[in-house]
Amino acid sequence: MDAHEKAPKYDLVHVTMQAHRRRAASEYLRHRSFNDDDDDEEEKLKIFAIKTLLKTGCRETLGMIKEITELHTDIEQGRLSKKQFKRSVATSVSGAIGATVGGVLGEIVGEVVNPGERHRKGATLGGLIGRKIATAICDEIFNET
């Protein structure tokens, strides 16, 4: 058995989050080096932040598909109501995205943010994203408009 098999699950999550933040920081540096002649630095930063959050959010959401599928099976078998399903999806998506969003924002503004604070800062925005995604998923699954 090598070290990867012995590592607890949260270590994998931590490493994944670190990779997202490193990637976001390197993309920002690359972005700045190619576009230093632009006058509106604040506008460039906003655009970069939005693009990074979208990419990170999509990546995290794709990782949730298996969990969402399992929850949907519970609905079909009568073990879960639509309301419980929607709440479960929102919670899992917002939790996963929240910590990543907080970390990415910390990297963008150049702050070193400890994990607890990162989660707290990211949780609000992650929660908003999570609810939007959960609503979209549930509307699609239940054919609601």
Q: What pLDDT digit, counting tens, does each position of 21-44 carry?
A: 666 666 655 665 555 555 565 555
**92 is in which domain, residue-wise?**
3-141
Tell me the two tokens of residue 3. 């070290």
Mean of per-residue pLDDT scores for the chain:
61
pLDDT at 50: 54
Which of the four pLDDT bands, split at 50, 70 and 90, describes residue 58?
A: low
pTM of the model: 0.39
What percentage of the chain has pLDDT greater than the value 70? 18
Tell me the two tokens of residue 70. 């399992």
**Number of residues written out for the chain:** 145
Tell me the two tokens of residue 46. 């906003």
> Side-chain half-sphere of 112: how many Cα atoms within 13 Å?
0
The CA–CA distances, whole Å, from 94 to 29, 36, 97 equal 28, 34, 5
pLDDT at 33: 54
Q: How many domains does the chain have?
A: 1
